[in-house]
């Protein structure tokens, strides 16, 4: 997996994640859009994910809780903007509370409140290529700096999350 931060005039700080999965695109797309599937692989390794709500439509939301191995609970929220099955999802990701109110990152209060994400999937010979781009929305200069400095942590986090997705996809294909 490759992760890099780039700068452009329209997006001052952007993360780009590239990954390949040995699975058909339809299955990878389902893994991103089905609540039972997401609960099995999304999030940091060792966390228990519970899906509170998943409305797969523009304006719909994926609301979930994550419990750490020591029992601490936090919430996350995707708000979908575009769903073009099976090749593209556009969504805003943020931390939230149990009532779907946007909250600050519990570990890093200067993290941007909202991050726009564009997920694109292509398939060739049974291999799905994932391209995920993300950038802060309406972020302060300090939040942009923290996002940019978080490249190593994001790389590590997505690597672990996508390892779990690899395992999930392998089980689903048996």
Distance CA 55, CA 87 (A): 18
Mean pLDDT of 10-35: 92
Domain tally, the chain:
1
pLDDT of residue 6: 60
**pLDDT on residue 22:** 97
pLDDT above 60: residue 4: no
Q: What domain range is 12 assigned to? A: 2-172
How confident is residue 8, by pLDDT bands cut at 50, 70 and 90? low
Are 48 and 58 a contacting pair, CB within 8 Å?
no
Q: What is the CA radius of gyration of the chain?
A: 16
pLDDT value of residue 7: 58
More confident of the two residues 80 and 9: 80
Note the pTM of the prediction, 2 decimals: 0.92
| 122-169 tens-digit pLDDT | 999 999 999 999 999 999 999 999 999 998 889 889 999 999 999 999
26 or 14: which carries more pLDDT confidence? 26
CATH of the domain at 105: 3.30.530.20
Longest dimension (CA), the chain: 48
Tens-digit pLDDT profile for residues 65-112: 999 999 899 999 999 999 999 999 999 999 999 999 999 999 899 999
pLDDT at residue 42 in the model: 96
């Amino acid at each position: 997996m490759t992760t890099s931060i780039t700068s452009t005039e329209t997006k001052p700080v952007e993360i780009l994640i590239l990954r390949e999965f040995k699975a058909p695109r339809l299955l990878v797309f389902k893994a991103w859009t089905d609540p039972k599937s997401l609960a099995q692989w999304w999030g940091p390794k060792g966390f228990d994910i519970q899906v509170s709500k998943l409305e797969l439509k523009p304006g719909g939301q994926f609301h979930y809780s994550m419990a750490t191995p020591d029992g601490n609970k936090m919430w996350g929220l995707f708000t979908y903007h575009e769903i073009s099955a099976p090749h593209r999802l556009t969504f805003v990701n943020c931390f939230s509370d149990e009532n779907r109110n946007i909250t600050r990152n519990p570990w890093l209060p200067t993290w941007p409140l909202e991050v726009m994400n564009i997920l694109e999937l292509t398939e060739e010979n049974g291999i799905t290529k994932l391209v995920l781009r993300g950038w802060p929305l309406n972020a302060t200069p300090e939040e942009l700096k923290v996002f940019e400095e978080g490249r190593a942590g994001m790389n590590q986090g997505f690597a672990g999350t996508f390892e779990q997705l690899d395992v999930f996809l392998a089980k689903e294909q048996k």
